[in-house]
Structure 1
């Protein structure tokens, strides 16, 4: 059985309007009942913006973005009016939580507990980009300073240090 969605893909889930989720993992399920057996794939999902966890059947999912483009997608994603999580509890799209039948409407009406706001993928990614840019700018400044000193003073040590900084810049750019 081949899953429709890969780990890291971004999907939308029926019943969770205007929300997007990362695919965390998938599992093949073979269910045996009195009148037969059937196979299906279940997915564990995490809300890409607020971190809420959800379990869903493949029939309830729609692809929004493949993993390869997910970071770019989230960098440009408009979070204005993004829906709040329904609760801090885990959710199953078929309405079962730990074997007890709950209607989705009841889960939505549950009192919200205060929670820490987790870093969203977009915020974490933007912070990572800013950090890398800052580090690159610092290395470039250092390289320019060392080359200026080399040209003014002529000491080969400055040239050696500048070459080491350039090697580090190239190595990080290749990663």
Structure 2
């Protein structure tokens, strides 16, 4: 079976309005029952913004952006009011009439070539998460060291510094 979508394309899914997903994988399904044989394609998707996983039928997908333009598209994508994840789900077509559905040929940026981007949106996001985790770990280590010194020596300066570190941790967690 030939599919309209390829790995890395960004798509939207019927029933998940205002959300965009990466195409991660697909499988060709041939189902036989008492009424005959059905062939269709199921896609494995990942929410491009919050990482939620989703399975959907090809007929429920609409192309938003081709793979070669995806990272540039995401760098300019407005995530304000982006819906919260609803949990992992398996999405079924409402009408089960395969071949009739949501697919439209709307492509972003097809008329211009891909730009050179030093870092992809996924890499930037992963790098930011890694950086915040590392900073949090360093602050927690610092807090533990200062509290240990306070408990061993009893010097109030260590307690004051530890409290300042905890305040910074709380402030960053609230952001």
Q: Compute the TM-score of the two structures, normalised by the length of structure 1.
A: 0.54
Give the deviation of 1:123 after TM superposition. Answer: 6.0
List 4+ stretches of structure 1 deviating above 4 A. none
Give the direction of change, closer, same or farther, for the CA distance of 1:55–1:38 in structure 2 (3 Å limit).
same
- The alignment status of 1:15 with 2:28, answered yes or no, reads no
- The alignment status of 1:61 with 2:61, answered yes or no, reads yes
Provide the C-alpha distance between the structure 1 equivalents of 2:126 and 2:38, rounded to a whole number of angstroms. Answer: 45
Give the deviation of 1:63 after TM superposition. Answer: 0.2
Where structure 2 has 5 or more consecutive residues not aligned to the other structure, the ranges are 94-119, 128-175
Aligned length: 101
Provide the C-alpha distance between the structure 2 equivalents of 1:45 and 1:123, rounded to a whole number of angstroms. Answer: 15
Where structure 1 has 5 or more consecutive residues not aligned to the other structure, the ranges are 96-120, 129-175
The secondary structure found in structure 2 opposite 1:25 is strand
- The alignment status of 1:92 with 2:90, answered yes or no, reads yes
Give the direction of change, closer, same or farther, for the CA distance of 1:40–1:123 in structure 2 (3 Å limit).
closer
Give the deviation of 1:126 after TM superposition. Answer: 6.6
The secondary structure found in structure 2 opposite 1:39 is strand
Q: Compute the TM-score of the two structures, normalised by the length of structure 2.
A: 0.54
Give the direction of change, closer, same or farther, for the CA distance of 1:44–1:126 in structure 2 (3 Å limit).
closer
Over residues 113-146 of structure 1, what are the superposed CA-to-partner deviations in whole Å (9 max), with x where a residue is unaligned? Answer: xxxxxxxx73633777xxxxxxxxxxxxxxxxxx
8 Å contact from structure 1 (residues 71, 125) kept in 2? no
- The alignment status of 1:33 with 2:33, answered yes or no, reads yes
